[in-house]
């Protein structure tokens, strides 16, 4: 072989990354512009975004006051984490998705007691969505006390009849797991999810800067950019993370399958308002099925929050991403900006970016 050709090949190989494949570059300027626009409008004091494709980080950037270590309360984006912890408990045989509330919490003697764990985490339990205005939503001393205030509230509907997005049913689900395992919720989450994934900056308690409050499974988690990405990579890899099984493949399938059953799904649900999606199977267990294929399998899985935090897995492109932020409610209200209905554009924008790849 010609010596010049050999030198050329060696030079090319040395220029490649360690895995031997040329790194693909993407033009993320549209995504950058969108996020910078939100910050310029003072909707967020800071934010961060990480995109992983085929197991490799293809984009990571912090904006404003945020750093990779910034811990943020992620509101409803924590529902996905909580559902995963419950799934891990069911794998141990301590709990079943079809267990009724009154199996573990006999004080629920009314119709609410017949709701199942599955219904509690798919917003079809018939439980009221939030506490009445005259009661604090999250600063009880424990889940046991929190649930004692939920128990006397009247049901909104019969279990399984209506999809009604809210958080109180998830508090009851967490208490069921505590009774079944003999452990408090934070311990369950740390042992089942955070610990195995090395999520050292992710917690459900306290729910704010005051210690001692009960966890809010539906909206009280705090985390960092890298921590949540670890969770998404595990989930996208069907429960495996760096060669270690965290969740069974069956649990991942169960969580992503439609769990709304025959429940009526009101037209004002997130997917209908954000994407105009008409199908009824909009929710799994702790996550939205934002997009499905012709067979009904979820191809875009998300867990958006009112605060702006938005995790997603795009199964079509083997991509997972996490936008971490916490909205400035004063500015957002002044300009009629809804972070809940804003962040959903990100996976669609990333899909367009992927079409612009170059070596």
Where residue 79 sits, what CATH number does that domain have?
3.40.710.10
Q: Looking at the predicted structure, is the pLDDT value of residue 297 above 90?
A: yes
Our CA dihedral for 263, 265, 270, 275, rounded to 10 degrees, sits at 120
Tokens coding 219 = 């909206």
Please report the pLDDT score of residue 23 as a whole number.
62
Of residues 94 and 22, more confidence is placed in 94
pLDDT band for position 9 (50/70/90)? very low
> Phi first, then psi: what are they for 112, rounded to 5°?
-60, -30
SS3 214: coil
pLDDT of residue 280: 76
Find the angle CA(219)-CA(242)-CA(252) to the nearest 5 degrees. Answer: 50
Distance CA 53, CA 345 (A): 18
Binned at pLDDT 50, 70 and 90, residue 358 comes out as low
Do the domain assignments include residue 287? Answer: yes
Q: Of 257, 217, 283, 277, which is closest to residue 77 (Cα–Cα)?
A: 217
How far, in Å, are 49, 89, 228 from residue 201 at the CA level? 17, 22, 9
Asked whether residue 3 carries a pLDDT value surpassing 60, the answer given is: no
Residue 208: is its pLDDT beyond 80? Answer: no
- 214 or 359, higher pLDDT: 214
Contact yes or no for 350/321 (Cβ under 8 A):
yes
More confident residue, 5 or 155: 155
Could you tell me if residue 197 is inside a domain?
A: yes
Q: Which helix (H) or strand (E) holds 81?
A: helix 78-91
Tell me how far apart the alpha carbons of residues 194 and 178 are, in angstroms, rounded to a whole number: 17
206 preceded by a cis bond (ω within 30 of 0): yes
pLDDT at position 285 is 98
Q: What is the pLDDT of residue 138?
A: 72
Looking at the predicted structure, is the pLDDT value of residue 13 above 80?
Answer: no
Partnered with residue 291 across adjacent β-strands are 300
DSSP H or E run through 84: helix 78-91
In a domain, 359, yes or no: no
Main-chain phi, psi angles of 298, to 5 degrees: -70, 130
Who's near 236: CB < 8 A, 6+ residues apart?
313, 315, 318, 320
Contacts of 99 (CB under 8 A, 6+ apart): 116, 117, 176
Q: How high is the pLDDT of residue 16?
A: 39
For the residues 32-38, what does the mean pLDDT come to?
Answer: 97
| pLDDT for 12 | 35
pLDDT at 190 over 90: yes
pLDDT, position 139: 76
In a domain, 293, yes or no: yes
Residue 250 predicted with pLDDT over 70 = yes
Q: Which residues fall within 8 angstroms of residue 144, CB to CB, at 6 or more apart? A: 175, 178
* 123-148: average pLDDT: 88
Q: Is the pLDDT of residue 182 over 70?
A: yes
Tell me the pLDDT band of 4, cut-offs 50, 70 and 90: very low
pLDDT at 270: 87
**What pLDDT does residue 289 have?**
96
Q: Tell me if 157 sits within 8 A of 150, measured CB to CB.
A: no
Residue owning tokens 């889940």 = 143
Euclidean distance between CA atoms 212 and 138, whole angstroms: 11
Number of folded domains in the chain?
Answer: 1
| Cβ neighbours, 10 Å, residue 323 | 28
Answer whether residue 178 is part of any domain.
yes
Residue 321's pLDDT is 98
CB atoms within 10 A of CB 284: 23
pLDDT tier, 140 (very low <50, low <70, confident <90, very high otherwise):
confident
pLDDT band (50, 70, 90) for residue 345 = very high
Which helix H or strand E contains 14, and what residues bound it? helix 3-15
* Confidence category of residue 273, pLDDT binned at 50, 70, 90: confident
Is 41 within a domain?
A: yes
The span from the CA of 196 to the CA of 27, in Å, is 34
* pTM for this entry: 0.92
Q: Max CA-CA distance within the chain?
A: 85
Q: Which domain holds residue 329?
A: 3-354
273 within some domain: yes
Residue 5 reports pLDDT greater than 50: no
Determine, yes or no, domain membership for 30: yes
Give the residue, 288 or 267, on which the prediction is more confident: 288
Considering only residues 139 and 20, tell me which one the structure prediction assigns the higher pLDDT: 139
Confidence of residue 278 (pLDDT cuts 50, 70, 90): confident
CA distances from 88 to 147, 251, 297 (A): 22, 8, 22
């Amino acid at each position: 072989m010609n010596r010049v050709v050999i030198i050329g090949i060696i030079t090319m190989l040395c220029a490649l990354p360690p895995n031997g494949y040329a790194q693909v570059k993407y033009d993320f300027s549209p995504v950058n512009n969108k996020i910078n626009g939100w910050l310029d409008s003072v909707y967020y004091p800071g934010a961060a975004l990480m995109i992983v494709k085929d197991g490799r980080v293809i984009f990571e950037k912090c904006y404003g006051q945020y750093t990779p270590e910034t811990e943020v309360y992620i509101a409803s984006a924590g529902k996905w984490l909580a559902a995963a912890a419950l799934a891990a408990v069911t794998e141990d045989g301590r709990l079943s998705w079809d267990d009724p509330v009154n199996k573990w919490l006999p004080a629920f003697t009314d119709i609410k007691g017949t709701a199942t764990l599955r219904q509690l985490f798919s917003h079809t339990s018939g439980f009221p969505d939030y506490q009445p205005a005259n009661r604090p939503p999250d600063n009880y001393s424990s889940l046991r006390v929190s649930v004692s205030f939920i128990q006397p509230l009247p049901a909104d509907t019969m279990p399984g009849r209506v999809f009604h997005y809210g958080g109180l049913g998830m508090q009851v689900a967490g208490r069921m797991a505590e009774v079944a395992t003999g452990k408090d919720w934070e311990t369950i989450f740390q042992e089942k999810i955070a610990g195995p994934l090395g999520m050292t900056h992710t917690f459900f308690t306290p729910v704010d800067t005051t210690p001692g409050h009960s966890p809010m499974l539906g909206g009280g988690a705090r985390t960092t950019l890298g921590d949540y990405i670890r969770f998404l990579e595990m989930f996208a890899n069907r429960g495996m993370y760096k060669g270690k099984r965290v969740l069974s493949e069956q649990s991942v399938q169960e969580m992503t399958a439609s769990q709304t059953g025959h429940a009526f799904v009101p037209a004002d649900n997130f997917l209908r308002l954000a994407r105009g999606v008409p199908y009824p199977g909009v929710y799994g267990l702790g996550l939205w099925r934002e997009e499905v294929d012709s067979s009904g399998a979820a191809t875009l899985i998300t867990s958006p929050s009112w605060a702006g935090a938005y995790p997603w897995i795009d199964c079509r492109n083997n991509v997972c991403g996490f936008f971490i932020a916490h909205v400035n409610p004063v500015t957002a209200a002044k300009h009629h900006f809804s972070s809940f209905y804003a962040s959903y554009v990100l996976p669609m924008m990333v899909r367009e970016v992927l079409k612009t790849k170059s070596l």
